[in-house]
Chains A and B, each alone.
Chain A
Amino acid sequence: MNTAVTTRATTGSPTAVPLGRRVLDAGPVLALVLLVVVFSLATSRFFTLPNAASIANQAAILLVLATGATFVILLGGVDLSIEGVMATSSLVTVLLAANDRNGNHLGYVAVLVGTAVGALFGLVNGLLHTRLKIPSFMVTLGTGAIGIGIATVLFGGQPPQLLDDGLRAWGTERIAGMPRLVIIAVAVLALGYLIQKFTRIGRYILVIGGDEQIARLAGVSVARYKLYAFVLAGTASGLAGAMASTQLGVGDVQVGSGQLFATITAVVVGGTALTGGRGGVPQTLVGVLLISVLANGLILVGIDPSIQRSVQGVVIVAAIAATAWTQRHRLRVIK
């Protein structure tokens, strides 16, 4: 510990962080670049504008979900209710917009209501977690199941068809070559970044995730900000459910199937630690792109479908091991 304080103090530079650590922090970005290079070399169809649009389209809904989930994971919690919230929001949105089951035609308001439903779920999650002190994974597991249940009741055995052409257009059409849903996703990403960097909600969520005790002692209302994080995540899930419905043209209980795993993986692979306090929205973007590029590339290259899952698994484990490398020591408790 013989650093010359005077000279370092002048610059306050991050040279205090060892080079190895900084390489690993940049791990996900490097992995993404590596994947892009490998796939571009392997097949000529990868690095084309239509394929980029295709990747972007598939990443859109995932990006919205992952941005919301980032806030909860930054706190050190987790939101497992994603698929259930998407299901309810999907049904609500379609049943309120022009559909083949009833006479509603609320148009964009339907999307707003669907998103609001997601926010409501988030509120319930947050309240149960902070007031009743139930761990977040248990609360959200429960509310997720409730979401599926509500959606099943609304479903009534057959998916209601979305007949509103304006809304359908959002799911299928493009503006200047970019699918419209991608534009929404980018807007959500920007909003998420804004919240994280410039608002008290975002900054306090980082503080609480970094050290909750210190936050509490400094007079921060920890419960309130935890609540905000869950509401953000729930709202994102609600919006994602509506988005998926415009894409598929139906309200469906299964509209979010597979998204929970993809979301958490994207956030963690991007570099946001599950223990909280590290990472953020930009990292999540990298994680989402990683997952989407990987899935897309494997299909383009023609990898046998039966081993695609295994390959994805290997890449994901490798990425997470790399980011966790700096944290390992013998007596650390891993759960």
Chain B
Amino acid sequence: MTGPLETGAPVLELRGVTKRFPGVVALDDVSIEVRPHEVVGLIGENGAGKSTLLKILSGVYQQDEGELLVRGAPARFRGPRDAARAGIGTVHQEQSLVGSVSVAENLLLGAEGRSVRGGFYRWSDLNARARAQLAKIGSAISPTARVNTLTFAQRQMIEVVKAISVEDLPDRTVDAEPVVVFDEPTSVLAGEDLETLFAQIERLRTRASIIFVSHRLDEVLRISDRVYVLKDGRCVAEREPGAVDTQELYRLMVGRASTGQYYREDEQGTFDSTTADADEVLGADGLSLRGRFADVSFSVRRGEVLGIAGVLGSGREDLCRAIFGAEPLDGGELRVGGKRVRFRTPADAVRAGVGYVPAERRFEGVAMGMSVAENILLADSSAVSAGPFAVPSKRAALVKQWIERLRVRTPDPGTDVATLSGGNQQKVVLAKWLSSPRLRVLVLDHPTRGLDVGAKEDVYRFVREMCGQGLAIVLLSDTLEETIALSHRVLVMRDGRVAAHFDAAPGAKPTQVDLVEQMV
């Protein structure tokens, strides 16, 4: 067991940590340190490497190169328990509590120790220990409450308590104050809940060291002693809050010259604003869904790309699912081709000519186990059917046409789609929608996620082609760069509302900083 440290020396240190996945370097030679009783902020765009870093810290991944030092001694975590025993507790973004049992059981899951004798629970003992832990952050939540009766904010408190409780593990390897990692804790908090969280963190700081990861730059600046900026897997900057402002942080996070060629901006069409309404394919007035978004209005014309930017919790994903009929709408009007529509199910949306390319293509996009041809014809086989019967010759011709247009690399239309590369699978998903003659609007949800450069270029090529043919596109993208480059107009959403509306004609595009300012 390692003992307490001399003051000033780092509690936790990453030296030259590198982590690779097939096709991408998630972390490249990253070095970071956390000193005692410090709050260290960590910021970066989606895909910058933040979550990979946290997973290495919490023992879910192991680094390929570099060292992890806990209190000066090298450590190797083979799993989450090792990280916990070393005193690193994580408050997760996705909840890690089991709803069907009580607070006390969750807090002490796997570590009940003497509270369970001979297989029997000694509830008074267990609850007392839980109460003691809850008291550490001053929470008065009852240890006997079942977790699925608590509010989200309360559950997050329990997560915090759970993270801190690593210091009480009977088999801990480090006998010292814990390091608590907060992973995007504020994305769904507001108002009083937020203040309470900050108060907790301040209290916590006296007996622990903290890493705070967030998109909300003002919050990070407020609470941290030092801030690291990650970009493209590298640690590009380390600043003290006093010496930097949000503007500079944005620049550090996203600053990169976008290459117009990559996104084929020269192929982007221009629009005459006076003909706007006549050509509207998709329109919205005051759309709202309780708890997710409110009062969203926009208009998309034939051949136009509307990009929607926003961070997690901004409501943009829910908005797109609502456009596709996968979520209900509480209020507002949705129009397709000028006519008011109400979608009860995605099938209604498909019939009206709205398609949706989902973010999780493995689960929601391609039907694994079916062939390429079958997948392409999945959404709408009206073009190749005569009544209830499929016309085989037409089917084969259509499938062949799309495979060629999209340059899907498959040995055979009959190949199982599961054997294709990610990029080609994504193309199959696109072909599925594009092969429908009814399609008027296509919603693209993170269409280039996980694709290599070549596949991305192909996708961009299509987007341009499709626009040229009059299709309207709603685009949610991982990166601001992609959003700005591909779109004709950009909507920025924040906390469920439209924060800003930008025109993005080629040559007059907004900068990423402009967008980020509105997003956070």
Q: What residue of chain A has the Cβ atom nearest to residue B345's Cβ?
A: A330
- How big is the A interface, by class? 35 or more
Q: Please tell me which one of the listed residues B105, B120, B141, B325 contacts residue A9 in the complex, with CB atoms under 8 A apart.
A: B141
A200 touches B192 (CB 8 A): no
When each residue 194-234 of chain A gets 1 if its CB lies under 8 Å from chain B and 0 otherwise, what string results? 00001111010011011100110111100000000000000
B23 at the A interface (CB under 8 A): no
B157 touches A200 (CB 8 A): no
Provide the bound-state CA to CA distance between A16 and B116, in Å: 30
Provide the bound-state CA to CA distance between A218 and B318, in Å: 32
Provide the bound-state CA to CA distance between A319 and B326, in Å: 27
B328 at the A interface (CB under 8 A): yes
Provide the bound-state CA to CA distance between A10 and B150, in Å: 12
- Shortest CB-to-CB span from A204 to chain B, Å, is 9
Provide the bound-state CA to CA distance between A199 and B99, in Å: 18
B121 touches A219 (CB 8 A): no
Interface of chain B residues 296 through 330 with chain A (CB within 8 A): 325-328
A277 at the B interface (CB under 8 A): yes
In the complex, which residues of chain B have a beta carbon less than 8 angstroms from the beta carbon of A201?
Answer: 119
Provide the bound-state CA to CA distance between A278 and B99, in Å: 9
When each residue 72-104 of chain B gets 1 if its CB lies under 8 Å from chain A and 0 otherwise, what string results? 000000011100000000000000111111010
Q: What residue of chain A has the Cβ atom nearest to residue B145's Cβ?
A: A12
- How big is the B interface, by class? 35 or more
Query: What DSSP secondary structure best describes chain A's contact surface?
Result: helix
B109 at the A interface (CB under 8 A): yes
Q: Please tell me which one of the listed residues B97, B119, B325 contacts residue A200 in the complex, with CB atoms under 8 A apart.
A: B119
Interface of chain A residues 48 through 105 with chain B (CB within 8 A): none
- A-B contacts counted at CB < 8 A amount to 108
- Shortest CB-to-CB span from A222 to chain B, Å, is 11
Provide the bound-state CA to CA distance between A207 and B99, in Å: 8
Query: What DSSP secondary structure best describes chain B's contact surface?
Result: loop
- Shortest CB-to-CB span from A17 to chain B, Å, is 5
Provide the bound-state CA to CA distance between A217 and B111, in Å: 12
- Shortest CB-to-CB span from B150 to chain A, Å, is 6
Provide the bound-state CA to CA distance between A103 and B100, in Å: 51
Interface of chain A residues 7 through 30 with chain B (CB within 8 A): 8-14, 16-17
B100 touches A16 (CB 8 A): no
A10 touches B140 (CB 8 A): yes
A176 at the B interface (CB under 8 A): no
Q: What residue of chain B has the Cβ atom nearest to residue A4's Cβ?
A: B192
Provide the bound-state CA to CA distance between A9 and B189, in Å: 16
B170 at the A interface (CB under 8 A): no
Interface of chain B residues 106 through 152 with chain A (CB within 8 A): 109-110, 112, 116, 119-121, 123, 139-142, 145-146, 149-152
In the complex, which residues of chain B have a beta carbon less than 8 angstroms from the beta carbon of A327?
Answer: none
Q: Please tell me which one of the listed residues B79, B80, B101 contacts residue A210 in the complex, with CB atoms under 8 A apart.
A: B101
Q: Which residues of B line the A interface, CB within 8 A?
A: 79-81, 96-101, 103, 105, 109-110, 112, 116, 119-121, 123, 139-142, 145-146, 149-154, 157, 188-193, 196, 291, 325-328, 345-346
